[in-house]
Amino acid sequence: MPENNYPKLHNATWPGIVGKGSDSEPVISFDTMLEKTAAAEVDGIKFDGVDLGLFDPHIDLDMSDDGIKKLVDKIGGLGLEIGSLVAPIWGGPAMGSKEERDTFVEMVRKSCIFGQKLREYGIRPHGIIRIDSASKPEAWALDPVNNTKLIAETFRKACDVAADYGEKLAAEGEICWGGMHSWRTMIDTLEAVDRPNIGFQADMSHTFLYLLGYNAPEHRVLPENFDWDDRASLEEGLKKMTAALRPWTIDFHVAQNDGTVHGTGSHDKTGRHCLATDPNGKLDITHDAGYWLRDENGNITKKFGHICWDGCMFPNDVMNSQKTWNDILAALIQVRKAHGWYEPN
């Protein structure tokens, strides 16, 4: 496969942290995540890069320029590039106090500066800064109208800061974030932000739960007690949801889901990320990725420089197996074969 076949294939590093810690399993080190990614290979094809979570214990957001250069040399030395970055905004809820909202914006600013330095080193040719509301759906539901306004105001300020660095922000749709916990509330929030550099990060596992109306039963797409053997109805549901969110989508995660809610450790319940080979997975990964990567007429959108696998909350024994990452890479390759494109030099 030629080197300039798009989109590039990335692995996320933050699954080594999310759902890990003192009340769960030990964090998997950044170096281990990089090594497993770099070692994965299927039919001579390897991962092209990694997406990074800019938070401890993997990354010190305030590291020196020398530290960033060492990081670049480490990742580049493994033959990998860097794509999207996750801003550590959880200390400042987007609908919190003025001080908390200011903290949110400051974390976005620092993440943009970090991302700009990576671009200057030539290791980050594409990617966004990922955000969420850092607020619980239960708190949002106490005053939906005003809380959406607060989130939108915070996101606008963050967008204005990001624009100064040439960055786009992508809000990841997860049922655990207030104002983002259903496909309709997600669109309401994005429309209220009203900035050209805001978009949606679609994760195939997280968005799958939008269909089932967790945390927003009034917005469920599939009926209660849905028959999972009814593939035709599932596809119609996916078409409806992706038609609404695809125009906003600027970053994309390939993933699998078994139709259940899951949380590990201190992490809020969200979409269960399943292995690409999980027999209980409800998604046809290759086919269903097309609802995000192709428009309503079936044309490839070519909106992404890379696609990423996000496998948060896998057990450590699974994540420490090289087979896991080879299987994940194989799934990404199949998605690209079905929905990718070749760009001549």
Provide CB contacts within 8 A for 143, sequence distance 6+.
none
Strand partners of residue 246? none
Task: Name the residue with tokens 């995000």.
Answer: 292
Q: What are the tens digits of pLDDT across the range 61-87?
A: 999 999 999 999 999 999 999 999 999
Per-residue model confidence (pLDDT) at position 2: 60
Q: What is the DSSP letter of 133?
A: -
The answer to whether the pTM exceeds 0.85 is yes
Task: Name the residue with tokens 């007690």.
Answer: 225
Is the CB of residue 326 less than 8 Å from the CB of residue 42?
A: yes
Q: What is the pLDDT along the chain (345 residues), one digit of tens a residue?
A: 566 799 999 999 999 998 888 878 999 999 999 999 999 999 999 999 999 999 999 999 999 999 999 999 999 999 999 999 999 999 999 999 999 999 999 999 999 999 999 999 999 999 999 999 999 999 999 999 999 999 999 999 999 999 999 999 999 999 999 999 999 999 999 999 999 999 999 999 999 999 999 899 999 999 999 999 999 999 999 999 999 999 999 999 999 999 988 776 666 677 678 999 999 999 999 999 999 999 999 999 999 999 999 888 889 999 999 999 999 999 999 999 999 999 876
Q: Which two tokens stand for residue 196?
A: 């050209």
CA distance linking residue 325 with residue 311, whole number of Å: 10
Strand partners of residue 308? 10, 253
CA distance linking residue 167 with residue 163, whole number of Å: 6
Query: Is the link from the previous residue into 223 a cis peptide, with omega within 30 of 0?
Result: no
Is the CB of residue 315 less than 8 Å from the CB of residue 18?
A: no
Q: Which two tokens stand for residue 77?
A: 């030395």
Is the CB of residue 11 less than 8 Å from the CB of residue 75?
A: no
190, 192, 239, 251 alpha-carbon torsion, rounded to 10°: -10
Residue ranges and CATH numbers for the domains of the chain are 5-342 (3.20.20.150)
Per-residue model confidence (pLDDT) at position 3: 66
Per-residue model confidence (pLDDT) at position 271: 66
CA distance linking residue 70 with residue 124, whole number of Å: 15
